[in-house]
């Protein structure tokens, strides 16, 4: 497990190595709307924004620890992407 800062440092090192940066998130892991906005704000405010920011919705699989997570409302998901 890496700290949040270590993850940000990795993005910088990847870019410094001349590699295009792709960084996004999965919605539906138990995060709040504020958490989602914070991730997107952090990525948007990097010295150079990532070339790709994929946002995916959790695909729940029966028998796994996240199988009983609340479903993400489709419009909430769209709002997250629209940010």
- Alpha carbon separation from 81 to 3, 12, 36, 56 (Å, rounded): 25, 23, 10, 9
The DSSP secondary structure of 58-74, one letter per residue, reads ----TTSTTTTSPPPPH
25-49 CB burial, b ≥16 within 10 A, e <16: bebbeebeeeebeebbeebeeeeee
How far is Cα 3 from Cα 5, in angstroms, rounded to an integer?
A: 5
pLDDT, residue 83, reads 74
| Report field, pTM of the whole predicted structure over 0.75 | yes
pLDDT, tens digit, for every residue of 21-74? 999 999 999 999 999 999 999 999 999 999 999 999 999 999 999 999 999 999
The residue ranges of every structural domain in the chain are: 4-82
């Amino acid at each position: 497990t890496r700290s949040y800062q270590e993850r940000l440092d990795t993005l910088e090192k990847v870019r410094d190595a001349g590699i295009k940066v792709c960084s996004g998130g999965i919605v539906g892991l138990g995060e709040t709307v504020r958490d989602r906005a914070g991730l997107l704000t952090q990525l948007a405010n990097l010295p150079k924004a990532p070339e790709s920011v994929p946002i995916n919705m959790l695909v729940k699989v029966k028998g796994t620890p996240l199988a009983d997570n609340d479903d993400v409302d489709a419009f909430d998901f769209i709002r997250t992407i629209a940010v």
